[in-house]
Amino acid sequence: MKPIKRIVIIAAVLAVFIVAVSILVGVMMNATAGIERHKASYTVTDDYGHTVAVPSHPARVVSLSPAVTEIIYALGAEELLVGRTDFCTYPPEVADIPSIGGISNLNIEKILSLNPDLVISGSMVGKKVTDQMDAMGTPMVCVIEKPRFEALYDNITAIGKLVGKEQEADSLCNALTARCNEELGMRNEELADSSNNSTFNNQHSSFTPSVYYVVGFGAGGNFTAGGNTFINDIIRMAGGRNIAEDVEGWSYSLEALVKEDPDYIIVRREDSAAFCGMKPYNRLRAVREGHVIGIESGTFDLQVPRNIDAILYLRKRMNQ
């Protein structure tokens, strides 16, 4: 073989070798970086009392709560979402995120198939699922809805920390606080004292209408939001008095509803026609007088920034 040809062949082999080594080194560096990112974690105690080691910079997040999903979008962290539930429908763009199905019958295998490095759940996911996820080695943090309106800020802060959007969470909380002050006329100290009816009810009128919120109705029983719910706070902030404010939990008797015969009834818009057309609800004064307020799902029954929209809407409808 001629010397020149031999040199060319050797040079070509060396070039291929160098490229291969470079690629291998790059892959190893990326893998190492991935391992280091996975190792970089901190410990949190969630709302169910579980101590969880979560990644400092999650890249793949599955949300098992409509409220969590909405807050993630409000924080501008939607690029992290790789999975959500069928009930996560706001904002509309969330339809582009793959769904893992329902909440009560969670498909653990489908969740794990999305290869999440963090799962965030809410009030509808119980301890059993959390234990299953722990056993699978996938960190799962529960951020549940809480009894008081102002706890919304705590949830925003908690989710912001989990998804690496702490500054955005602070900004969102400040914006919501300013909105409460400007549009609702409520300061932080007033929100903190939301157990005092007079804080809200008499700001705009001496009349405090009685209000009933329909969670469930019909043959399956009557359910509403009792006094130990953030929904009760929203009703007060809108200027009303929840007729179930002395009730803890969600069950309410038909007899009590008929006896109270509230001035206004709040119901999800999609349920309004069925409720108003069913006996004995159609004989309630609020139904007969056209004081049934159909409200957009999610603005009232989830602990999310849109709660303020619900308060303003209810105030307008109740002429407060």
- pTM given for the model: 0.82
Q: What is the pLDDT of residues 157-183, one digit of tens each?
A: 999 999 999 999 999 999 999 999 998
% of residues, the chain, pLDDT over 90: 70
Do 237 and 311 touch, CB atoms closer than 8 A? yes
Confidence label for 211 from pLDDT (cuts 50, 70 and 90):
very high
Q: Domain with 291 in it: what CATH number? A: 3.40.50.1980
Residue 35 lies in a domain: no
Domain boundary among the residues 115, 139, 174 is at 174
Q: Of the candidates 145, 174, 203, which is a domain's last residue?
A: 174
| Same-domain check for residues 47 and 169 | yes
In this predicted structure, the answer to whether residue 19 has a pLDDT above a threshold of 80 is no
Alpha-carbon Rg of the chain, whole angstroms?
Answer: 26
- Bridge pairing between strands 81-83 and 51-55: unpaired
- Which residue(s) pair with 64 in the sheet? 121
Domain that holds residue 223: 194-317
- The pLDDT tens digits for 237-287 are 999 999 999 999 899 999 999 999 999 999 999 999 999 999 999 999 999
Q: Taking 50 as the threshold, does the pLDDT of residue 216 lie above it?
A: yes
Over the stretch 286-308, which tens digit does the pLDDT of each residue have? Answer: 999 999 999 999 999 999 999 99
- Burial of 132-163, coded b for 16+ CB within 10 Å and e otherwise, reads ebeeeebbbbbbbbbebbbbbbebbebbbebb
Q: Are 288 and 215 in contact (CB under 8 A)?
A: no
Q: Using one digit for the tens of pLDDT, what is the confidence trace for 82-134?
A: 999 999 999 999 999 999 999 888 889 999 999 999 999 998 887 778 888 88
Total domain count, the chain: 2
- 59 and 170 housed in the same domain: yes
Where residue 127 falls (left for φ over 0; alpha for ψ -120 to 50; beta otherwise) is alpha
- Measured from the Cβ of residue 58, the count of other Cβ atoms closer than 10 Å reads 20
Instruction: Tell me: pLDDT of 153 over 60.
Output: yes
My answer on whether 112 and 225 are in the same domain is no
- Asked which of 188-197, 231-240, 295-304 is least confident by mean pLDDT, the reply is 188-197
Is residue 183 domain-resident?
Answer: no
